[in-house]
Amino acid sequence: MNIALVDDSPEELLRLEEMLREYAGIHQLDLELTSFSSAERMLSSWKPLKYTVIFLDIYMDGISGTEAAGIIRQTDEDTILIFLTTSQDHRADAFRAHAYDYLEKPFTTDTIFSVMDHVCRLHTEQNTGRFLFTLSGKDRSICFSDILYLQSEGNYINIRSCDGEVLKVRMTFSAASEQVLPDNRFLTIVRGIIVNLDHVKRFVGDACVMTDDTCLLVRTRKGREMEQIWHNYNFAKLRREALRKGGHA
């Protein structure tokens, strides 16, 4: 699991690193931690889905944590954002950025361990389910969470992954549908195209825009309906996360 830590206080970065390394040691987790002293430094090397989690201090010189979150959310709806702050004043901004949590300083080891328990549980749930296929005579699979969309092409299915790779496998559209559609993160937007709702950026007219900026045509006169399904899916996901953390929705 790749985690970015962004704080302009060297002492706070060190404390957080030590807590996370202690958590990783106790739970035998492979955590790759990358620390940044400013949002600018993090954003200069950032790309969608590079990190599973980003811990963001709100009050920093230059670009603030909430401003950085806004930039991230323009192209990435999936990275888990956790705000670090000394004040309650930015909870509304955190909500708008779909922040997973909002931790007040000085946070304790118990606080960090608790939020990491929730993150690991969510990460495990998101990575359940695998799409099975045969390629070049070998049985292979790809995690559902890594699929951007599936597109039919004759007797083949093109699997577009989040890292930009396209796998062309011999399979009928109905066989592909049977594997993924029981999982509610997948939606058929038109005959021959199934999208992963976790990787939809927005709906515009009759087009579904994915997080890699690919525009896919939506079933005629069904654009508004598809958009509402997407909004409902996101609301339900946020509600589940809030309930899981003991919050209210």
| Mean pLDDT on 15-42 | 94
Residue that wins the pLDDT comparison between 218 and 90: 218
134 shares a domain with 117: no
Domain of residue 41, residue span = 2-126
Q: Which helix (H) or strand (E) holds 4?
A: strand 2-6
Q: Is the pLDDT of residue 109 over 50?
A: yes
Task: Examine the domain organization and report whether 187 and 84 are in the same domain.
Answer: no
pLDDT of 95: 66
pLDDT(168) > 80: yes
Confidence (pLDDT) at 166 = 95
Interstrand relation of 130-135 and 207-210 (parallel, antiparallel or unpaired): unpaired
Shared domain check, 102 and 18? yes
44 and 112 share one domain:
yes
Assigned domain for 9 exists: yes
Convert the pLDDT of each residue in 141-152 to its tens digit.
Answer: 999 989 999 999
Q: Please report the pLDDT score of residue 248 as a whole number.
A: 40
33 belongs to a structural domain: yes
Is residue 185 domain-shared with residue 206, that is, in the same domain? yes
48-87 residue pLDDT tens: 778 889 999 998 889 989 899 999 988 887 788 999 988 7
Looking at the fold, whether 146 and 85 belong to one and the same domain comes out as: no
- Measured distance between the N- and C-terminal CA atoms of the chain, rounded to whole angstroms: 28
pLDDT of residue 249: 40
Local structure of 137: helix, strand or coil: coil
pLDDT exceeding 90 applies to what percent of the chain?
A: 53
- CATH for 62: 3.40.50.2300
- Cα–Cα separations (whole angstroms), residue 81 to 12, 207, 208, 229: 17, 28, 25, 24
User: Does one domain contain both 97 and 139?
Assistant: no
Query: Per the domain annotation, does 249 fall within a domain?
Result: no
**How far, in Å, are 18, 20, 107, 234 from residue 196 at the CA level?**
36, 31, 35, 12
Residue 190 sits in the same domain as residue 110 = no
Q: pLDDT tens digits for 179-233?
A: 999 988 999 999 999 999 999 999 988 899 999 999 998 876 777 888 889 988 8
